[in-house]
Amino acid sequence: MSKAREAKAAKIRQLMETEGDAVNTGTSGFNQGRYESVQTLDDYEGLKSEARAIKEDAIERLPELIDELRETVEENGGTLYIADDADDANRYIREVCKDKDAERVVKSKSMTSEEIEVNEALEHAGTEVIETDLGEWVLQVADEAPSHIVAPAIHKSRDAIADLFNETFDPDEPLETAEELTMFAREQLGELIEDADVGMTGANFITADTGTIALVTSEGNARKTAVVPDTHVAVAGVEKLIPTVEDLQPFVELIGKSGTGQDITSYISLLTPPVESPTVDFDDPDTPITDGETDRDYHLVLIDNGRMTMRDDDQLRETLYCIRCSACSNVCANFQHVGGHAFGGETYSGGIGTGWEAGVEGLDSAAEFNDLCTGCSRCTTACPVEIDIPWINTVVRDRVNRGDVSELDWLVEGLTPDEEPGGVSFQKRFFGNFETAAKVGSFFAPVSNWVAQSSISRNLMERFLGIDARRELPAFQRETLVEWFDARGSRVENPTRTAVLYPDVYTNHVQVERGKAAVRALEALDVEVVVPDVRSSGRAPLSQGMISTAEDHAHDVYAGLSEYIDAGHDIVVIEPSDLAMFRGEYEKFLPEQSFERIADSSYEVMEYVFGLLENGADADALSVVDGDEVAYHSHCQQRTLGLEGYTEAVLSDLGFDVATSDVECCGMAGSFGYKSEYYELSMDVGSELKSQFQTDETRDRTVVASGTSCLEQLDSLLSRPTQHPVQLVAPSR
């Protein structure tokens, strides 16, 4: 293993050991809460589409809205400053504090202020800065960075926080319970807010028509920060602008439910600064508050810092729709196990963090954690503004790949079967061209398998390709599915319809038996089957950020299948991640009509079997049983497509007793689980699935899974064999 991979693996291992349990408890709780909370909405999908439309419109009209906001803020009596970058913003804020002779600034939680490192800038100028958000204050006391964009101290357990407070503050009685810790913090922070000269907040949303800022918080300190001092500085990215107050409605409905699973967050504050409430003189408690001064200063600092460039970038633009709810972090299995200290950059973490880091910090920061996104797509359905987060991660990965230029690039490009420049790492290039490796493996099988499994080969693969020696390698079959079918031919005399069984790489070269089972199952239901020799879908290169190569695959696949689509035949796909390509990513690669044709003609194999049975096919022609017990795990992209129910329904209808895992991720994620730097994380994520399939109810059941990666991971986790569901239902030879 290279030193870089060893270092990354060691960091991940250390974070899993020290922070993993706390992060997992918090994020898993948030994620489950989201599932439950959004069920209370009458039209969840409609609200998401409405919120996205508002953000699309706002980003499109951003210069116009900024001009409108300037007029509004100045009419209200405040000042709007547009900062080009972090240094510009910090200079302006320092000047505001200097003009006020500010000795102390109190802050509410703000990721944008983290981004510009305003605390450090003010402290360097001699101004004390106090975080008033409980989580941020804990981290300030501990001198640590946030690990989550909503719950910054999610990586610290209650016991760890108690130890921190007891050691730092030495209270009269040791603090132990959550209530004691919270009350202690409240008393400490209350005193600090009373004596503050300037209050600084962020803004979740800013309305251009009224200059109103919306603060969505779980604590009341943001309100105190904004109104107790007589000077209020609000810091936000330019993307926080929306046109009107009325536009806040869908976001208020969605942000709490999406982020923490709350029906509504504890505090939603709508302030139109400078507020007219009198300031409080805590040194003069006898004077009525109504007699206090109402002269207040308000400064709204809107920060560009790369955002307007992102706005002009067709691939990163969607990042600006983000409302910082953290749903993409909470739903992500890798994030759940390591948190933002591994799955994050200079400021931003989680799935959408790659887009933010690439835009405001640069590709080097994004590259540090981009590969932790496996493209599973679970975040796409969780995002309340429908951002295609996996695509943004893929685009950034592609740009990182193209960043390293070598004098020998021309040689590498000439020798590799892809469309990528020479800067792509050997590891990514190998996995991105796995179809080529599979063809060679089958051609020379079984010798190729013996050679690959030798200790010398495993050592070389780990050293140069980063393939972990602990992971079992796939065994290539000498006779591919296409070759088997060509020799066998179709065996249906009076077919009701014709289906093209798409030979994905694993089904064609490794898991050939599941392909044969699919042929038998379809033929048993009077479907004529065709197995064409078609290129792989492009999922493998896409997962490595090799977009040009994936696009090349897409065009070849469509060319290979179009004649069958023209003839009205159905495309049946065994591997869910390939179907997700046909119904999803191909929209980015193919002309609109071509995409629609292949998307509308393609079906997952068990979805297709379900449809046949629903339309009168004879279920008795399949393998009907009487209560055979099955433990089933569905593929992540199968879930995103909403298809897992078809497998459960078919198995149940055929007499199987099905226990379905509710674990959303097996941890394998294609090539991810093979890579030495991520192997231990992959197995740690998979441990939850392993536990579910080793209970008293499930340990003796036949294990089935829909995805190739899931089957590989389950084979590593369990001591009993696994198979694809179609292998259960197909009649024997």
pLDDT in tens, 620-651: 999 988 889 999 999 999 999 999 999 999 99
Distance CA 490, CA 563 (A): 18
pLDDT at residue 168 is higher than 90: yes
pLDDT confidence of residue 408: 47
| Residue 381 neighbours by CB distance under 10 Å | 15
Burial 253-282 (b: 16+ CB within 10 A, else e): bbbbbbbbbbeebeebbebbbbeeebbbee
Q: Confidence class of residue 411 from pLDDT cuts 50, 70 and 90?
A: very low
pLDDT confidence of residue 265: 64
Q: Using an 8 Å Cβ cutoff, are 584 and 390 in contact?
A: no
pLDDT at residue 409 is higher than 70: no
Between the alpha carbon of residue 384 and those of residues 115, 165, 323, the distances in Å are: 23, 36, 8
Q: Where are the domains of the chain?
A: 52-307, 481-729
Q: Using an 8 Å Cβ cutoff, are 611 and 525 in contact?
A: no
Take residue 328 and report the two structure tokens written for it: 């993409």
Distance CA 145, CA 156 (A): 12
2 CB-contact burial (10 Å; exposed 0-12 / middle 13-18 / buried 19+): middle
Q: Confidence class of residue 617 from pLDDT cuts 50, 70 and 90?
A: very high
**CA dihedral of 485, 488, 494, 500, whole degrees rounded to 10:** 10
DSSP label of 344: B
pLDDT at residue 206 is higher than 80: yes
588-603 tens-digit pLDDT? 999 999 999 999 999 9
pLDDT at residue 553 is higher than 60: yes
Q: Confidence class of residue 732 from pLDDT cuts 50, 70 and 90?
A: confident
pLDDT confidence of residue 284: 59
pLDDT confidence of residue 432: 95
pLDDT at residue 414 is higher than 60: no
Q: Using an 8 Å Cβ cutoff, are 97 and 124 in contact?
A: no
pLDDT confidence of residue 291: 57
Q: Confidence class of residue 404 from pLDDT cuts 50, 70 and 90?
A: low
pLDDT at residue 294 is higher than 70: no
pLDDT confidence of residue 410: 45
Q: What is the mean pLDDT of the chain?
A: 93
pLDDT confidence of residue 420: 74
Take residue 169 and report the two structure tokens written for it: 């503050």
DSSP label of 349: B
| Average pLDDT of the segment spanning 653-679 | 95
Handedness of CA 519, 559, 413, 544 (dihedral sign): negative
Take residue 205 and report the two structure tokens written for it: 């949303």
435-456 tens-digit pLDDT? 999 999 999 999 999 999 999 9
219-241 tens-digit pLDDT? 878 888 999 999 999 999 999 99
H helices present in 299-351, as ranges: 307-311, 327-331, 333-338
Distance CA 540, CA 581 (A): 11
Q: Using an 8 Å Cβ cutoff, are 91 and 181 in contact?
A: no
Distance CA 625, CA 619 (A): 11
| Residue 246 neighbours by CB distance under 10 Å | 11
pLDDT at residue 357 is higher than 50: yes
| Average pLDDT of the segment spanning 108-126 | 96
Tell me: domain 52-307, CATH 3.40.50.10420, correct? yes
| Average pLDDT of the segment spanning 653-669 | 95
674-714 tens-digit pLDDT? 999 999 999 999 999 999 999 999 999 999 999 999 999 99
pLDDT at residue 311 is higher than 70: yes
pLDDT at residue 554 is higher than 60: yes
Grouping H, G, I as helix, E, B as strand and the rest as coil, residue 381 is: helix
pLDDT confidence of residue 626: 86
